[in-house]
Every structure is written in C-alpha cells, then in structure tokens.
Structure 1
Amino acid sequence: MWKEKEGEGIGWAMQTEFWGYRRPDGKAGVRNHVLILPTITCATQTAYRITELVQGTVTFIHQHGCAQVGADYEQTFRTYAGLGKNPNVYGVVVLGLGCETHQARKIAQDIAKSGKPVEVVSIQDHGSTLDAIAQGAKIAAKMVQDASALHREPLRLSELIVGTECGGSDACSGISANPAVGVVSDLIADHGGTAILAETTELIGAEHLLAERAADDKVKKRVYEVIQAMESRAFAMGVDIRTGNPSPGNIRGGLTTLEEKSLGAAAKAGSRTLQQLVDYAEIPSKKGLVWMDTPGHDIEQLTGMVAGGAQIVLFTSGRGTPTGSPIAPVIKISTNTPIFEQMSDNMDLNAGTIIDGTETIESVGNRIFDEVIRVASGKLTKAEILKQHDFGIWRIGPTF
C-alpha cells in the first residue's frame, strides 16, 4: 500500500498500488458508478430523469442510436458496450425505446459478459416514459445500494489504463504539459499499465516519430494507414488539414499549422515502444503505450478512450477547458500559469511552472503521476465536482 512521505507527497518512485474496486471480470475500477445507458437519443431524457431521482447514478445526453448502418453502427455499438463494461461502472441499466437500431437487449447481453449486474428497461414495453422512469429508478436504486456495500482495496498500478488528451493548444503545450504527461505515460508503462495516445488528426506530421517506435512491422504499417485514412476523409471534403490549422483556438494560442500542434501532442506518448494501434472504442489487448484511432474532437476522443477501458484521463490544455466524463475522472492540466489562474475552477494542475522556470518536465510529470494515484484512490477531480458529464461518439457514416 502507498503512504505519503513527509514533505514529499506520495513517493512516486516506490508506488505500485492504488485503492480501487475489484470487478467480477477481474478488472480494476477507480469509481463505483451505476450507469443509466440510453441506447437511443429519444431515451436520453428518460435516463436523465432517473439520475435525478437516484443518487449514485450517471448518464449522458446524445443524438445516436438509430438509422445507423455498417461500420458506423458497429462502432456506436462498441462504444455503448465499452462504456457499460468500463471497470468504473458497478452495474448498468440499459434503457431503450424499443424500435431503435441499437437494441437495448443486445447491448445488455454484451455488457453482461463482464459479469456485472445489467438490467434492461424499454419505454415502449413499459407503456410510457413515466412507467420506464419508475421501473428504471427502482432497479437503479437497488444497484446503488449493492454498490455502496463494496470497499476499496489495494490494486496494482499495472491494472490502470490512462487515457491522454490534448485540448486547445498554445505555444507552451509542446514544451510543458504534453511532455510532462509523456513522463506519466512512461511511468504507467514501466509499472505494467497501459497509456493510451489518441487524436489521430493531431498526430498528422508526427507519424514518422511514432512509427519509428513501433513494436513490429504490423504496428508500423498501421500507423501510416490510420493517418492516411484520416487525411483522406478531409480531402474528400476538399480540405488539406496537414498544412492548415482548423482550430481558431490553436491559432490564438500561437500555432500556425496542424503539424506544429501534432509535434507537441505526440510528446504525450513519452519515449516507450508503441505496442499496439486499436480502433475507436476498442479495448487494448496489450500493455504499455497504445494508440487509439480517434478524431481530434475532445469529447469524441474522450468517449472513445473511456469505452476502451480507460479509468482515468489526463487532459492538457493551453486555452482552458471544463471537459469531463460521466464515467472516468478527467485530470485537466494547464500548459501555462495565466490560464491555470484564470480557470482555476476547472483546471486541476498547472504545468506552466515549467515555462516559469520553477519546475522541470520530470518533476511536473512526477507530480501528475502522484495525482493519478490520488484520483484513482478516490480524490475527486474538478470536472467531477462540477458534474461535467460530456459525451459524444465519433460517427463515421451518415444517418439514414
């Protein structure tokens, strides 16, 4: 078990454990939520009403779940099921309308493979939204009571999956917060855990650096394939995103091209071998550094990593952000001190001290690593306290 050293905080170099929840499938959770999972947009308000009634439940508002086909359908299904299987979730009430493409019962069956409690509520089968709210609240209340009887126990850091994300950047991102997160990625990998690098869009121009670190030729080939596919999507809409900069916030932050942002964003990957490249919302099968193919959209990539099993997400920002997740705590890290001071209600840590000259990249990285352990063991992030429950799925096909 870990304990604080006087005057030093947690002894990060010796740390091997955190306090979490053991799940039936053997995975380790850092939170103990009961998730009300709406499979269709027209069930989201009903789900929200249940969370208003039952403390200890979480949900999200979205516009997905119907008139989806092919790979787009499969990706959304994988995301729904992955969120339910995330080890931060104790149990799930899958809430459907009844006639949608993404059938609640099928999603519940996939989630149930994890061994956790899963129940299905259908608005049409129960007769109305009021009846569905009553039934869903009754089931959820029992799950919350059962969940509250669980106790945290010491678990290995090797069981953590930590997502990394770069929000609106500035000229400091690539020399402060992102390389500091890279230190954390290396520490997580060295402890036998998994660090997820995402944002394929914002790795364009830095792909060769990651390809050089690929574990084998298959991973190396996949690096260039996902970059090419992302650029092809942009070209199909008449845009060359490699030489442009689509975000006004990035421009105001002092960046001129996407490649500049990419070189800074890639620093979150640290220096370890790239072990695997997974699809959006896919659960990694390997430990160490893993790349998940996601867009640069903050909320969509956040959702994908959490659906892929991330229990915690590190989110750097040079512009400031309120972003959070209904399921995983999001630790937000400022790249510069003025933004941290301006948005102190939203940002958890300040890496601007590197720019100020009062800390090194390594010391800030160790400080962030300490915070990961504290949050994994129960400390609330500012996004959690403010109930910032953001959600969005990367759609790769039209709605029919």
Structure 2
Amino acid sequence: MKTFDGYRRPDGSIGVRNHVIVINTVGELSALTRKIANLTPGVIPVIHHGGVAQFPEDHTQTLRTLVGTAGHSNVSATLVVGTENDPIAQEIYKILKKKGKPVHTVCLNKNQKIPEILHEGRSWLLTALENSKKEVREQCDITELIVGLECGGSDAWSGITANPSIGAFSDMIVREGGTSVLAETTEAIGAEHILASNAINREVGREFLDIVRTYEHRIKQTGEDIRSANPTPGNMAGGLTTLEEKSLGCIKKGGGTPLKEVISYAGKPTEKGFVFMDTPGYDVESVCGLAAGGAQIVLFSTGKGSPTGSPIVPVIKIGTNPKVYEIMSEHIDINAGKIIDQNKSINDIGKEIFDKVITVSNGEKTAAENELNQEFAIWRLAESI
C-alpha cells in the first residue's frame, strides 16, 4: 500500500497542508477580511464576492462551498468574518465546531469599532498559527487521497499528451484505493455519451447525462448554444477545431476506470474511485468546487498556459507541449510534452504525475504555491436579486 505523510484532523479526514485561513461570508466584507490577513503574516485570505441578494439555489451552493472550504482537511484553523446575526457565519461556525475544527467568528456590528474587530481577529489568528505549528504529519494510506482533475487553456496537444497522462494517473490512484474527481460539465458536452457508457451502472450513467442536459438547457435559456461557442478562440488558436475534439480530449483525464459516482458542485464523494463533479468550465470556479468538495490536490493540464491556483489546495500544472513548459516554466510542474520530443509514453508521464502527487502530499510546494496564485470564486447559478 502506497503512503504519504499528512495531517490527521479531529474528524478523521487527512490534509496535505496545514493552512490557517480567514474567510468572509459576504462580498462587502472583502476589504475587512484582507486587512485582518495583512495584519497576520502566515494567514491566507479566502475572499469571495457573493453571499447576499441570491436566489435560494445560489444561497445553498454558496453555503456548501464556504463550509467545504472553511472546514477543509488542508486547513488547520478558520476565522470567519461575518455581519451581525449572520446566518452563514453561524452555520459555518456550528458545522466546524462539530467537526472539531478550531474556528472563531468576528462580526461587523454596531457595538464594535473596526480597530477592535481587527484586533480581535488578529489575536485569535496569532494563537491559531502557534497551535498549527504543533501539529505534525503522520503516515497515511493513499486511499485517503482525493485528487481533482481539471484543464484550462486547452490546445491540440491536450488530448494527446497531458490529458491521457492524467487519465493514466487516475487509473493508478483508483487501483490503489484512492479517488479521482473529474470536473467541467461543459467540457464533456459532445462526448458525454462516451463517459456515460463507462459508468458503473445505468443509474450513474443517467445521472451524468442529466447534469449535462440540465447545464445545456440553462445555457440555451440565455440564447446561447454551448455547442457553437466551443472551442473558444484561444482553443482554436492552439489548434483545436471542433467541440467533439475538445470534449474527447477532456474526458481522457478520467482514464479507463468506470465512473462510480456523480456529485454536485462542492459536494463530497461518498464512494472511492472515479467520480464526476458538476462544475462550470471556468477553471477558477471549477477548482474552487473541487477543493470545497474535499480534494486535497488538483491536477491541471494546460496547453496555452494558466497561472490558476487555489488558496487551500496545491494545484499541480501539467503542460501539454514543450513550448508552453519552456515559456511558462515558473507556472508548470510537469512537462507532458516529453511524449512529443523525448519518446516518453503516456504511462511514463502518468507515473511521473503519480510520484509528484506523493511528494506534494508530503509537503513539496507546487509552482502555483510558489507563485502565490490563490484564486477563489464560487459558481453562481442565477443573477443577483
């Protein structure tokens, strides 16, 4: 059994990082949240711009994402910045307390001046940082790993080099008893029937086709047609010519393992194995959903180059071709272009990705972490009220 050294949390989950974070519940608290983080070096701000004036489905999704982020196994402790009598802050606090996660809430209110709120938040975070330094890694089974699978800035090489290599990795980790989670519902349109036919049973296949049809219907209601909007101009500049070509490359990240489960955005897998999460194609929102759903690490293939990272999970970038790896080497961890010019096989790169996942799980920083790329955005389903 393969192992790695991770942080075991009070609820039994395993983290590969030990972050202390400060997170806002509503967009108008973004500046206050950042000020608290700036006063406390070592603390990571997790800032979003929603939380209010939302339809019920967006309120539910925002809450699920914030709870999943604040309570993530890569997070040692969380400071929640809310408003007076804030239901989102109260719910996050209640759930994290139940998990045994160190959590504290500061609220903008009529009885406390801003400097007092800053002082309270900073004081709690300083204590949380000191406590986090006492936490130590322990040996954990690879069965505890959940790895998200993502792509951005795809080119003609994506479906030939990087994505099939991620698929080889996915098969490897599933064989070891771990979990891989493929995302981006829009990116599967055009090849959805193939992924559905690889489901473990008809019910799972239908669930996958249902989310694809629902997403496509929602887009059509705006007057747009995703099948004519894809591939994007950037994709075409990279050599992709049709929607089907892009989609066939996208689903290769899932490998050949049967699809075990379909989950909602920021939802947590209940099965080990190969899973699909319903997310948009926008990579920042998609990575955010994967992380909130419990992925400790995200693999991210790119042909045009992308600096996207995450505030709480390491994102491992895999370049599809030698040129993008050379030009954007500070943003890319693995060069799948070696399949093109160094006679490497897909399985060779898949094994390289597997080994990198283990070393990153043990604490090695990714390029995105070194560059402090910490993008965070929650997928909105409807307009603001």
TM-score by structure 1 length?
0.94
**Correspondent of 1:74 among 44, 60, 64:** 60
Please say if 1:310 is aligned against 2:295: yes
- 2:170 match: 185
- Structure 1 window deviating more from structure 2 (24-33 vs 381-390): it is 381-390
Q: Which amino acid aligns with 2:80?
A: V
Aligned mates of 1:21, 1:392 — CA distance in 2: 26
Question: Does structure 2 retain, via aligned residues, the 8 Å contact 1:281–1:304?
Answer: yes
State how 1:289-304 maps to structure 2 within 5 Å. 289-304=274-289
Name the SS of the counterpart of 2:308 in structure 1. coil
Q: Which amino acid aligns with 1:215?
A: I
Name the SS of the counterpart of 1:91 in structure 2. strand
- 1:380 match: 365
Q: How far off its partner does 1:37 sit?
A: 1.2
Aligned mates of 1:128, 1:355 — CA distance in 2: 61
Please say if 1:57 is aligned against 2:24: no
**CA 1:368/1:126 → structure 2, altered by over 3 Å: closer, same or farther?**
farther
Name the SS of the counterpart of 1:65 in structure 2. coil
Question: Does structure 2 retain, via aligned residues, the 8 Å contact 1:185–1:270?
Answer: yes
Q: How far off its partner does 1:230 sit?
A: 1.1
Aligned mates of 2:159, 2:264 — CA distance in 1: 25
Aligned mates of 1:53, 1:18 — CA distance in 2: 34
Q: Which amino acid aligns with 2:310?
A: S
Question: Does structure 1 retain, via aligned residues, the 8 Å contact 2:63–2:88?
Answer: no
- 2:127 match: 142
- 2:84 match: 98
Runs of 4+ in 1 over 6 A off after TM superposition: none
Name the SS of the counterpart of 1:239 in structure 2. coil
Q: Which amino acid aligns with 2:189?
A: I
Aligned mates of 1:126, 1:81 — CA distance in 2: 27
Name the SS of the counterpart of 2:77 in structure 1. strand
Q: How far off its partner does 1:190 sit?
A: 1.0
- Percent of aligned pairs sharing the same letter: 45
- 2:18 match: 32
Question: Does structure 2 retain, via aligned residues, the 8 Å contact 1:98–1:124?
Answer: yes
Q: How far off its partner does 1:105 sit?
A: 1.4
Aligned mates of 1:358, 1:59 — CA distance in 2: 43
- Structure 1 window deviating more from structure 2 (382-391 vs 193-202): it is 382-391
Q: How far off its partner does 1:357 sit?
A: 4.3
Question: Does structure 2 retain, via aligned residues, the 8 Å contact 1:245–1:256?
Answer: no
C-alpha offsets along residues 78-118 of structure 1, whole Å, 9 cap, x if unaligned? 00000012100011111112366x53112211222321111
Give the total of aligned pairs.
385
Unaligned ranges ≥5, structure 2: none
Question: Does structure 2 retain, via aligned residues, the 8 Å contact 1:182–1:267?
Answer: yes
**Correspondent of 2:197 among 212, 228, 240:** 212
**CA 1:42/1:357 → structure 2, altered by over 3 Å: closer, same or farther?**
same
- 1:260 match: 245
- Note the aligned Cα RMSD (angstroms): 1.3
Q: Which amino acid aligns with 1:30?
A: V
Aligned mates of 2:46, 2:281 — CA distance in 1: 20
Aligned mates of 1:170, 1:347 — CA distance in 2: 15
- 2:7 match: 21
Q: How far off its partner does 1:53 sit?
A: 2.1
Name the SS of the counterpart of 2:310 in structure 1. coil
- 1:347 match: 332
- Structure 1 window deviating more from structure 2 (323-332 vs 118-127): it is 118-127
- 2:93 match: 108
- 2:256 match: 271
Please say if 1:361 is aligned against 2:346: yes
Aligned mates of 1:59, 1:125 — CA distance in 2: 24
State how 1:240-251 maps to structure 2 within 5 Å. 240-245=225-230, 247-251=232-236
Name the SS of the counterpart of 1:345 in structure 2. coil
**Correspondent of 1:86 among 72, 83, 86:** 72
Name the SS of the counterpart of 1:192 in structure 2. coil
Aligned mates of 1:382, 1:199 — CA distance in 2: 23
Aligned mates of 2:354, 2:69 — CA distance in 1: 24
- Structure 1 window deviating more from structure 2 (150-159 vs 125-134): it is 125-134
Question: Does structure 1 retain, via aligned residues, the 8 Å contact 2:23–2:47?
Answer: no
- Structure 1 window deviating more from structure 2 (135-144 vs 103-112): it is 103-112
- Structure 1 window deviating more from structure 2 (170-179 vs 40-49): it is 40-49
- Structure 1 window deviating more from structure 2 (50-59 vs 292-301): it is 50-59
- 1:118 match: 103
Unaligned ranges ≥5, structure 1: 1-14
- Structure 1 window deviating more from structure 2 (74-83 vs 114-123): it is 114-123
- 2:212 match: 227
Question: Does structure 2 retain, via aligned residues, the 8 Å contact 1:196–1:290?
Answer: yes
